[in-house]
Structure formats: C-alpha cells, structure tokens
Structure 1
C-alpha cells in the first residue's frame, strides 16, 4: 500500500462496497488487481544491453517468451534464457549469456547480438535461421548455431577466433557445412562423448550402489547401537527439582526424531518440538557429555526451576541422560531480539522497542531484587531476549547465571559472557555483581535505539557506546537512530533512553542505576490502556493506528497500541523527533 509518499510494509486494508441509492441490486465486483513492492537490490541492467536485447525481441517477434521489465534486475526475475553478471561495485548488471535454442527463430542472425559487448555465450541452435553469419566476433567465447539453415560463408573473424582457440564454434546441421569437414561442422566429439558416457556411467552407477549398500549397513548398525545406548544411559538418580523429567525416547518423539533445527549455540543445538497436548517447545540439546562435564546445564536447570516470571523463559522440563542432556522450554515463535533488529522482513517501531526493553528490564529486576538469593544472569544480550507472538520479551539462556547471598556484595568468577557486552569492571576484577547485568543491558538499549551490533565496523572496529558518542559529538542525537524507524519517534523519549543507556554503561558499577530504577524510567515513556491486549503481529495494524492518531491529534484524543502498563505518554511519541 502506498501512503503519504512511501510504501507501507505489510499493511492491513479493508474494502466496503455499497449499492447506490437508486440501485435495486447489491454491488458487484468482478475483478481487482493487487500489486506488491519488489525491492531491487541490484542496479538496472546496462542501458546498451537493454536496447540490444529489445531489438532482438522485436527482430524475432518473441511474443511467446515472457520478456518484460528489466532483463537482469532484480536477479530473481531475470529474463528467461538470459544469464547476467552482477559486479560487486556500483556497476550495472550485464548480459553475458543468451540461450534461445529451440525457440522457433526465423530469418537472419540479428546483428544486435554482436553489439552486446559483454556477451560471452550465444546459443541459437535448433532454429530456422537463414543467411550468413555476421562478420564480427565481439566478446563471444561460445557460439552455437548448429541445426539451422545458414548457408552463407563463415567470416574470417569467426574462423580466426576458432583457430586461435578463443571461440567454441558449433555449426553442424547447417547447409554451409555440406562442403566443410572441419570440426566445427562435425559432431564427432559428441559421438565420442556418448560412447564414453555409455561405458563409464553404468560402471560408476554400479560402484556407487555397492558403496551405498556398505555405508547403509554401517550407518544402520551404528544407529541401532546408538539407540540402544541412549535408551540404556538414563541417569538413575534424578535432579531434585519440581519440573518434568523427559527421557531420551520422549525427546525423540516430541521433536520428530530431531528433524527441525531452529538454533545453535554454545550449549548445543535447539530443536522445535510439540508436546502431547499440542504445546510447542524448544528443545536445547547437548550431546555426548555428562552432567559432571557440563558447566552450564546444572546452573540453568536449577535457576529456571526456581524462578517464575512473565519476562523469564519458562522451563518445561529436562532430560538427564549420560549421553544426552537437554532443556525443554516454551517455544518463542518470533525468535530473538537480535534477529528482529537486524533482519529485513520486519521492522520494530519505537513503541514496540521500548516495550521489549521494559520486558527485559522487568525480568532482570525480578532476578536481582525478588529472588533470594539474588541471581546475576551474566550473559544479557539481544540474542538471549526471546519474543512471543505478541512481541513480549523474555530473558533466556541461564547457563552462566550465578546466585549470591545478601551478605556478599559480589562473587568472584572467571570472566564469562559475550564480547561487546562485558562489564569492564567485571572483566578487570572478575568480581561479578548485579551491576554486571546492568552494563550489558545498557548495550542492549543502544542496540534497540541504533539497530547496530555491539561492535560496529564504521569503517574501523569501534565499540557501540563509543560509536554513539562520536555520532552525537559530530552531529545530532538523531544520527544514531535506526533508519528503519523512519523518524517515527518522540525526540524527548529518545534523549531519555539514550541517557539511560549511557547511565547503565558507567565504568564504575556504583554509578549505574539498579534494574528497578531502569524499569521505572522506561515505564514513563510507554503508553498504557488498562486491560487492552498487546497487538504486535506486524505493521499491518501499526500503520493504520498511526494514521488514526494523526487524525485524532487535532481532537486531543490518545489511542493506545500496546498495554499492560499504567504510565501514559503524549501523542507525539509516534512522530519525528527532527
């Protein structure tokens, strides 16, 4: 849909047909057209190539071939029978090969082919072309004119190219070859190839069948042994936690024999699964290990079995097998925050981003303030913030989490976490506190604002906080905002969130806010309508809502989009901060 000079991404549209006042019949529609925007990542085809290939189309009246639009761009919709080159620099695509074999071509050979300076391969075989071959070779390296009605002489330029080994020429099956015995007029090479294929292929196939039979027997034997081993290696002593324990056999059943991989990480592979009641789950599996060898399995099971919060991932159960450890979580269909921020299929608006930030902050607040003892996550990052269908964020991956009592202000551990998110104070002293998570959350906030990764290439490697500082120092705070937001944000809330992020990134932990303070400050900038559902399926609903807000602005009415929070925000939150 096109609105206000721009295309809307996946908009929702509704149409209503009413009969006229003097009509006795209901309204009738017998056709309608829908157009979709196709993004063209490539430049348009070179203008000369376009002109020449259109001349070819006109010359041969190629109405039966679907040649419309740009010949090479976008690449997924290039013309049938064409092969194009796509230079990496800012150069236009060029046509390098044309295949119009068996296309019913009649008449002479179009000179336009020879004028295409990038054309390397031309196949016009098995047509009804007549006359002579043009006396110009150009950039051609392969010219297949076999099985036509060409009767003219072969130009010297073509013969010289063939004799010098610069041109692969095929002319057999043309009248001009009736008095010529050279190889370009003979199919002896093909005959030899056919004989070789007839001899070699059966031998190769038989050999492959023998090898496949051997491998199949070995694999079947190995699988049978593995299945027996896995069934026999269930730990006899379960963990003393109040969640379901799955057997390896049950995991195989709910994951359909581990068919659908939805993620990979340091712990292992994550599979999609479905429980007996139809609930979708994510099964994170660490293969060929034991509980004694896994440093992350026990902490994550112990942590998630004790914590329960709407913004923390729910652990449905675990598998305790000597050869397979697994965690079974609720499935989050919208993936993780990093994927949504970096992907092209969907763009989060400013309000959605703040909601997700608040969700993550509330999850961390629960771990820090409401758990006894307090829990430090130690690996807060956008890939570990998962999103459900309504874009509600939940903290996941507690393999590095650690708990400590109120009597201790910190715990001493080896440095752990992810590059770009590490608290410099923790990295220097190995003393982890709840403020370690606050620092990492500051990086997450900057990612939400900028859409950039924690380490930016611009053009040299720079840490995201320094990149933000440089951009603001050299221009405006608006220069750091993710371009996908299209300037639809409130300037004052942007400034406040940037300030909050920088506050979280103070070098000294004592100067950073608590997660309770972070959550409180984020709530100030979010609209709320008590009891209203959170509609976040896509911009299908968001764009019409923005349009309604623009209309109602003059009436001083606020329409809320997301809910579940009690602090209001001015209507200007949807409009440009510039």
Structure 2
C-alpha cells in the first residue's frame, strides 16, 4: 500500500513538472524569437526598423518584414517568413536565422552581403532568396541537396558564386520546358485578350449609356420602407462626376466626394461589390439614420439599393474626422476650448441616441475616427453600421462583442450584454485621446492601453505629462483635471460605476468658458500645485493615513485595477 502511494505521488509530481515545462515553452517561444531578431537588427545596424514588443501580437501591429502563422493548429503565432530585401544589409550572413525553427521563407536579396553561405539546416525552410548580393563562398551540401530534391527554392543569381556555377538557382530561367511553355501561352493569352476587347468594344458601341443600363437592370424592385430619397446608380455617377474624387477608404469600401444639383456637397459611401452579399451593416445604418435627427448626428440624404452597388449619401464634412486632427502632423492643432466643444458635441449626439430615442440606440463603435467635423469644427457622430436598439427590460445579448480595438467595453466583451454604458466607456477613451493626442493603444516602447498609461503617469504625480504637447500649456489647469476625472469615470471596469451620457453632457457644459475672460492657461505654478496635491494624496493612500473619503476617491479615479485590452472583435 505504501509503495502504491509513493508511485502515485511520483506520477503526480512528473505531471506537474511536465505542465510547468509546457507553460514555460508557451510563454518563452516568442521571447526567444524576439532575441534572434534583435541579434539580426544589432548585427546589421537596422536602426530604422521599429521592432519592439511582441513580433506577432497584436496582429495589426506585427513587426515590419515579418510574417506570422496564426492558423488554429498553432496556439501561439510563429514567425514563418522574414523579408529584409533591399534593406542595406552589409557583411557576412548571420547564423541567428538558423535558430528560428518555424522559418519557411527567408528573403535577403538585393543587399551587399559578402563571404560564404552559412549551412542553414532548417527543415522547415522552403524559400532561400540570396540573389543580388556579393556572396562568393561555397554552397553548403545540405542546402544543395534540398534544392536538388525540390524541397528548397534556392535563388543565388547576381552573386559572384554564380560565375563558377551554372545551375537553375543561378539563373532567372528555370528550365527549357518553362521557356517553351511561356512561348506558347503568351501568344494565346494575347489573342484571347484581343477577342475579349473586341467584344467589350462592341457592347459599349451599342449605346453610350450602356454602363448605366447594365446597372439599371440590378436595381431592387422593392424599396426600403423609409422616408428618405432613393438614388439610382446613374444618379450616383452624376453626383460624383463618375466617382472621380476619393475622400476615404475602409473595409466597407470607398467614400467619394459629390455635389448635388442644388450645390450641396455630399459624401457617397459605396460598399465593395464583394461585400454586398454579406453586408450586415447597410440595412441597420439606413434604418437608424432614417429615424434619428439631431445636430450632432450625421444626416443621411439618401441611399442606393442595387444588387451591384449599395451606397449611402451623407452631408459632406470638410474638416475630416477627429482622429486625423488629433494625430496627423503638426501643421494644425486644436485648442483646448475647441477640443472641449467637440467633446460636448459628440456627447450630446450620444445622449440623444440613449435618452431621446425609443427604444434607446447604442452606437457600439464610438471612436475618434467616427466623429466627423464640419467647416465650423462642430462634432458629428457618424457610422451607425453596428448600432443596435434595445430597452432596459431586454438588454441585447449577442454571441460576439463588436467594436474597435482599444475602445471596447471590457464588461461587454466579457458578458456580451449590451447597454448604453458600452458607449460611455468608448466615449471615455475618446476623451483621453482629446486630452493626450495619443491613440487608444500605445506601442512605444511597450504595449499600453491608454487608460492604464494615464493612470501610471498620474500615480507619479505628473498630470502635465499626459497633456498633448501641441497645446503648449495653453489650457485651463482646473478644466484639465475635471476632464481627466470625467474620462476616468467613463472607463470604469463596471458599467454601474460609469456616468450616463446626460451626466457627461452636464459636466462638460460646466467646463466650457462663457466669456474669454474666464480662460486660465496652465502655468508652471498651477500645474506644480496640482501635481503636489496628487502626489500627496497618492502617498497618503499608500500609507493608509489621511482622509478616507478623498483617498478612496483618488484610488477609484487613478489607481483602480488596470484593465486588460480586449482583443478585436467585429470590424
């Protein structure tokens, strides 16, 4: 019995050791890959390449020149391709590439690499492109054998080593059969193209309005039951001058500038033809915008319902969107007062959706890119493709949380339960962008969610460090702290702790000066006193001394648990 007990304990211990080893491998693989790539960067002095953090995650910010495998069979993404062609590499080939066990494609062509070719014994390697360098050493047997067996596509043309060797890997011409095949196929393709062009020319020659007639065949016979204008495809061509001027692009398609008969400028959002069949955003956006009317919500002039072309026609916003003004270049910067006005405009638009619509409408994709600006810098909420209507008795439950990375409500992401507080969280991120001028996800030098970055800065008692440098200290110090407080209230992890949009609007209105004389720009003394007070409160909080109410308030505002950034879901 005792022996059985010892065997059981030993087996359990081995199981734990195995689990710890697997966990270590899972978390350390990318760290090893990072080290190898950093060795490459240091060896070749690649200062211009911004390689920081995780090379493959988040997917949208993977390292330049790297391709990662995100297939389901790999729980952890792996580097499968490295492309450093035309990167100014000099000197010998570094051996670090051989340590990347999953590497399939290595492209170091068109550089100034010299010396011998290392014996890269990587079984996964399928393409090794070293063409147009200064390599003169021998070709290792392992690489030659894999190339001759058809397991490796080796490319060495343009190197001194090819002056001594004449083989397929030293020439752009793979073989005589390929050349003959090309010689036969090219004339056939050219003749076919000529025939197709003749047919197309005849079709066009039948009538100058042939293109319009073709699209007219695909107009939906049953219009949507909404009280806004319906445009035909021919109308859109006329309004946009044959879709001449592009003012924006996205996953949905393209936005064109247009002019109506009365001279009004419009923006025409045309969905890509490939996405029409599976477009789930078009109908909700038309239905939502046909029912809502507010000065801070984009106005829908009409729509086009064609099986070949779905389009929405909006009022044109000449100042672009808030994201562009906050982050594109230093030629123009919004003042603090302008930023507060835009924040109030946006908040009023959301308040209307939440409080004045029956049932309430949740936007679900509030972000600076969806806040448009008219010629007077009035903020206009746009892009209602993800909007959902709901009431308090039946909150919307979905199988996936839709939204944009960095703006997504963590509670919604965890429970899939939609409430109006989902928009409040996203608006809090917008407020932080307005204050800092930074994106919702920071990548320098580590990946930070913007609220966490702000909490860290303020916990150190340096509130002026979070303010957009382009403001040049031209802001009201008290107003700044109030807006920071409001933003941090909005991004509380629990929806119940966040204010309503009505409360947000009320607090923003108080912060806007009614006369120029009320402006009080930040000075070194005012920011210093503000920082000293925050540092004092923070120290009291840590030591457990001081007023409980003020310390608790400070903790809830600036030192609450840092939320993890939820992964991107939806669009």
- TM-score, normalised on structure 2? 0.56
Instruction: Write the distance in 2 (CA, Å) between the matches of 1:405 and 1:238.
Output: 28
Deviations 1:16-75 (A, max 9, x none): xxxxxxxxxxxxxxxxxxxxxxxxxxxxxxxxxxxxxxxxxxxxxxxxxxxxxxxxxxxx
Instruction: Write the distance in 2 (CA, Å) between the matches of 1:301 and 1:395.
Output: 15
Instruction: Write the distance in 2 (CA, Å) between the matches of 1:297 and 1:219.
Output: 32
Change beyond 3 A, Cα 1:574–1:460: closer
Matched with 1:452 is: 438
Instruction: Write the distance in 2 (CA, Å) between the matches of 1:372 and 1:575.
Output: 47
Change beyond 3 A, Cα 1:259–1:523: same
Instruction: Write the distance in 1 (CA, Å) between the matches of 2:228 and 2:276.
Output: 17
**1:463 and 2:449 are equivalent in the alignment:** yes
Instruction: Write the distance in 1 (CA, Å) between the matches of 2:235 and 2:212.
Output: 13
Matched with 1:571 is: 519
Ranges in structure 1 where 5+ consecutive residues have no aligned partner: 1-86, 90-208, 530-557, 560-569
Matched with 1:438 is: 424
Matched with 2:378 is: 392
Instruction: Write the distance in 2 (CA, Å) between the matches of 1:520 and 1:260.
Output: 40
Asked if the contact 2:233/2:306 (under 8 Å) is kept, the reply is yes
Asked if the contact 1:247/1:320 (under 8 Å) is kept, the reply is yes
Greater share of residues in helix: 2
Change beyond 3 A, Cα 1:229–1:512: same
Please report how far the alpha carbon of residue 473 of structure 1 lies from its aligned counterpart in structure 2 after TM superposition.
2.1
Please report how far the alpha carbon of residue 423 of structure 1 lies from its aligned counterpart in structure 2 after TM superposition.
0.3
Please report how far the alpha carbon of residue 264 of structure 1 lies from its aligned counterpart in structure 2 after TM superposition.
1.0
Matched with 1:66 is: none
**1:234 and 2:219 are equivalent in the alignment:** yes
Please report how far the alpha carbon of residue 265 of structure 1 lies from its aligned counterpart in structure 2 after TM superposition.
1.7
Matched with 1:472 is: 458
**1:429 and 2:415 are equivalent in the alignment:** yes
Instruction: Write the distance in 1 (CA, Å) between the matches of 2:263 and 2:197.
Output: 34
Change beyond 3 A, Cα 1:430–1:214: same
Change beyond 3 A, Cα 1:528–1:211: farther
Please report how far the alpha carbon of residue 460 of structure 1 lies from its aligned counterpart in structure 2 after TM superposition.
1.0
Change beyond 3 A, Cα 1:217–1:274: farther
Matched with 1:257 is: 242
Structure index of larger Rg = 1
Deviations 1:297-323 (A, max 9, x none): 000000000000000000000001111
- 1:298-309 alignment to 2 at 5 Å? 298-309=283-294
Matched with 1:30 is: none
Instruction: Write the distance in 2 (CA, Å) between the matches of 1:442 and 1:295.
Output: 27
Please report how far the alpha carbon of residue 474 of structure 1 lies from its aligned counterpart in structure 2 after TM superposition.
2.9
**1:311 and 2:302 are equivalent in the alignment:** no
Matched with 1:417 is: 403
Matched with 1:484 is: 470
Change beyond 3 A, Cα 1:430–1:406: closer
Match of 1:360 among 346, 367, 370: 346
Helix, strand or coil: the match of 2:389?
A: strand
Change beyond 3 A, Cα 1:492–1:448: same
Change beyond 3 A, Cα 1:471–1:234: same
What CA RMSD, in Å, does the superposition of the two structures yield over aligned residues?
3.2
Helix, strand or coil: the match of 1:358?
A: helix
Name which of structure 1's ranges 422-431 and 403-412 shifts more when overlaid on structure 2. 403-412
Please report how far the alpha carbon of residue 376 of structure 1 lies from its aligned counterpart in structure 2 after TM superposition.
0.1
Please report how far the alpha carbon of residue 258 of structure 1 lies from its aligned counterpart in structure 2 after TM superposition.
0.8
Instruction: Write the distance in 1 (CA, Å) between the matches of 2:221 and 2:387.
Output: 27
Instruction: Write the distance in 2 (CA, Å) between the matches of 1:469 and 1:221.
Output: 68
Instruction: Write the distance in 1 (CA, Å) between the matches of 2:202 and 2:464.
Output: 63
- 1:132-211 alignment to 2 at 5 Å? none
Change beyond 3 A, Cα 1:218–1:393: farther
Instruction: Write the distance in 2 (CA, Å) between the matches of 1:430 and 1:349.
Output: 38
Helix, strand or coil: the match of 2:377?
A: coil
Matched with 1:266 is: 251
Matched with 2:311 is: 326
Asked if the contact 1:413/1:431 (under 8 Å) is kept, the reply is no
**1:297 and 2:297 are equivalent in the alignment:** no
**1:279 and 2:227 are equivalent in the alignment:** no
Instruction: Write the distance in 1 (CA, Å) between the matches of 2:324 and 2:490.
Output: 23
Asked if the contact 2:212/2:233 (under 8 Å) is kept, the reply is no
Match of 2:229 among 219, 236, 244: 244
Helix, strand or coil: the match of 2:222?
A: coil
Instruction: Write the distance in 2 (CA, Å) between the matches of 1:450 and 1:486.
Output: 12
Instruction: Write the distance in 2 (CA, Å) between the matches of 1:284 and 1:384.
Output: 14
Change beyond 3 A, Cα 1:575–1:330: farther
Please report how far the alpha carbon of residue 220 of structure 1 lies from its aligned counterpart in structure 2 after TM superposition.
5.0
Change beyond 3 A, Cα 1:229–1:426: same
Deviations 1:314-336 (A, max 9, x none): 00000011111000000000000
Asked if the contact 1:421/1:443 (under 8 Å) is kept, the reply is yes
Matched with 2:495 is: 509
Instruction: Write the distance in 1 (CA, Å) between the matches of 2:199 and 2:508.
Output: 59
Asked if the contact 1:290/1:324 (under 8 Å) is kept, the reply is no
Change beyond 3 A, Cα 1:256–1:477: same
Match of 1:341 among 300, 317, 326: 326
Instruction: Write the distance in 2 (CA, Å) between the matches of 1:413 and 1:528.
Output: 46
Matched with 2:38 is: none
Please report how far the alpha carbon of residue 229 of structure 1 lies from its aligned counterpart in structure 2 after TM superposition.
2.9
Change beyond 3 A, Cα 1:218–1:461: farther
Change beyond 3 A, Cα 1:217–1:492: farther
Change beyond 3 A, Cα 1:381–1:222: farther
